[in-house]
Structure 1
Amino acid sequence: MKRKRVMTNGTFASCGYTIYVTQVQRIPAASKTIMMVNGAMSTTASFTWAISALDDFNLVLFDSPCIGRSREYNVGADSPTREIESDILLDLCKHYQPDYLCSMSWGGAATLLALANRPVGVKKAIIGAFSFGVSNDMRSLIHEMTCRLNDGEMQEFSDLVNETLGEFLPDRFKIANKKYLSELTDSEVSYLHEHFQRTLSIDKDEAILAISNIESETLFINGRKDRYTSSDSVDLACDHIKNSDKIEIDCGHFMAMEDKIVARQLKEIIENYFNLGSTESASMPFSQAAIG
């Protein structure tokens, strides 16, 4: 039975910032809640598929301080560091008490840091389209994106993102993506600059030390056609997170946004991993459960 949904919007204060939060409640009531964590260049709009597909779960979505609908509340504020982003996520977890976390793309960094602090009540997490470490392809892409931003070439920047990370997006999403990225404000551009620099300067030894403290069960999902966050790139993370596994599906970086078949597959994986799928599917090793 398809549940109805009630969406409420509000703000939440954390670490000196005001965070715009959207809650999705299901009717009849769902018993479990997922907090979704979007990537650095994305807003909660990137989880429209989840609002529609994951109707067995309540959802909590939020925009980072300098992005989307949080931006207007934090004019003039410094861009948050990854540690602050993690602290914000921990505050949100304490207040909204999700059972699960589900991140996409660069949102995985703050999510892993938050998990390392063992948020109370968070039983499992899914980390999608994430790379533990920066591949040569990603390093080159970041340098090229930085050059476009430095030169104020916003149209070229948006085209670059669509041609690389977004290469498998349908045309309608590429058009929307181009409009959004080409119209980034100065504060959003500054945030991306700082984010790119932090990404390139991550100390892998420190990262390993941090994630070794994670107790929540953690599943990494990567796209088989994603040149920038490959399945192999999370092997090291899996080696140091005690209760972890990984799965590869036949898609690119933007996963559910690329294709309805991929969206249905991702829905099934999430439901099964968070213990709402069939007993047969839930007990199947994830490498076998993947389609494609």
Structure 2
Amino acid sequence: MKAEIAVLDIQGTHRIYTELHRSRTPAGTILLVNGSLSTLTSFAQTLRYLQPHFNVVLFDLPYAGQSRRHNNHQRLLSREDEADIIVGLIEHFQADHLLSFSWGGIASLKALARRPRHVRKAAIYSFSPVINGAMLDYLERGSQVLGACDRDGIAALVNGTIGKHLPSLYQRYNHRHIRSLELYEYAQMKFHVDTVLHHEGRSCVSQADAIDIPLLFLNGEWDEYTTPQDARLFAQHARQCDFHRVARAGHFIDVEHKRACLETRDAVLDFLLAPAIAQRQAVAV
């Protein structure tokens, strides 16, 4: 089924390119929020296993992908701005589920903390509430190469750290994609990285305290940057949360190999398709 494409005006400020992929027998509508330096195309694998069950909404932030040409890029966006966009898209599509990947988790948790009326569950991939040593090193090196607009250096850093468990084909695609980005995209990413390094924006425990829907955190067993152990710290703050460690997978859990994709698919569908009341009871036990 062909995607329904629209460019939406969010709050009269941002023009957002969206794709609605309808399911023939939807159990609901799910909004997918991608990570830094990514576009909606990064969710191609995720779309395949979600669309049989859900209407799937993909989008690009104003500075990325298909949204770039519709915006003027006169100012950098904060995570609060991105949360505004997510809430606006939830309202427009009446999305009752949300899934985020990696750095998309910051704005997603901020959005969920506002308790948008439609959302019933959310799955958070490859995210944790702390900056461990490996992540700190990655961010500090990232700030340097982003500031220098070192295109090959940025791509090499991503592939050599969070992307090191990706197949070589994906790494080549990553390299081509990252080195082709506009200068304002590098500036936007450096702004987010520096904000986190100054201990702002990364601490999501206050947002987790305010979220009253079930959350599922999925992290790869081999992910040194957002580890399954660190993700479990959310249990001290989120009211209803569960966790799944994807075996023999790194940061890009569902695209690294087939077995990791199938395990991720099964875990997230079991969570999303379970009755909400049953899920709350299971977490409470």
How big is the shift at 1:227? Answer: 0.7
SS in 1 for 2:31: strand
Q: In the alignment, which residue of structure 2 is the partner of 1:274?
A: 272
- The correspondence for 1:182, drawn from 179, 184, 190, is 179
How far does the alpha carbon of each residue in 1:49-96 deviate from its partner, in whole angstroms, 9 at most, with x for none? 122122211100111111111111112331210011111101111110
How big is the shift at 1:203? Answer: 4.5
How big is the shift at 1:276? Answer: 5.7
AA matched with 1:46: S
- Correspondence 1:1-292 to 2 at 5 A: 5-15=1-11, 16-27=13-24, 29-54=25-50, 55-203=52-200, 207-250=204-247, 251-275=249-273
Q: Matches of 1:108 and 1:85 in 2, distance apart?
A: 11
AA matched with 1:201: H
**Native 8 Å contact 2:221 2:250 kept in 1:** yes
Stretch deviating more after TM superposition (220-229 or 49-58): 49-58
Q: Matches of 1:166 and 1:205 in 2, distance apart?
A: 20
What is the percent sequence identity of the aligned residues? Answer: 29
How big is the shift at 1:208? Answer: 2.6
Identify if the C-alpha distance between structure 1 residues 49 and 207 changes in structure 2 by more than 3 Å, giving closer, same or farther.
Answer: closer
Q: Matches of 1:206 and 1:46 in 2, distance apart?
A: 25
**Native 8 Å contact 1:6 1:26 kept in 2:** no
How far does the alpha carbon of each residue in 1:184-229 deviate from its partner, in whole angstroms, 9 at most, with x for none? 1111111111110122233489743332110010011111101100
**Native 8 Å contact 1:133 1:204 kept in 2:** no
Q: Matches of 2:205 and 2:79 in 1, distance apart?
A: 15
How big is the shift at 1:102? Answer: 0.5
How far does the alpha carbon of each residue in 1:150-183 deviate from its partner, in whole angstroms, 9 at most, with x for none? 2332112101111111101111111110000111
**Native 8 Å contact 1:32 1:57 kept in 2:** yes
Q: In the alignment, which residue of structure 2 is the partner of 1:290?
A: none
Identify if the C-alpha distance between structure 1 residues 205 and 37 changes in structure 2 by more than 3 Å, giving closer, same or farther.
Answer: closer
Q: Matches of 1:197 and 1:205 in 2, distance apart?
A: 11
How big is the shift at 1:136? Answer: 1.5
SS in 2 for 1:255: coil
**Native 8 Å contact 1:106 1:130 kept in 2:** yes
How big is the shift at 1:265? Answer: 1.3
Q: Matches of 1:236 and 1:25 in 2, distance apart?
A: 35
AA matched with 2:116: P
AA matched with 1:30: P
Q: Matches of 1:97 and 1:32 in 2, distance apart?
A: 9
Q: Matches of 2:81 and 2:202 in 1, distance apart?
A: 20
Q: Matches of 2:184 and 2:8 in 1, distance apart?
A: 20
Q: Matches of 2:126 and 2:208 in 1, distance apart?
A: 17
Q: Matches of 2:198 and 2:234 in 1, distance apart?
A: 18
SS in 2 for 1:144: helix
Tell me how many residue pairs correspond in the alignment.
277
SS in 2 for 1:59: strand
AA matched with 1:175: R
Q: Matches of 1:206 and 1:126 in 2, distance apart?
A: 18
Q: Matches of 2:206 and 2:274 in 1, distance apart?
A: 32
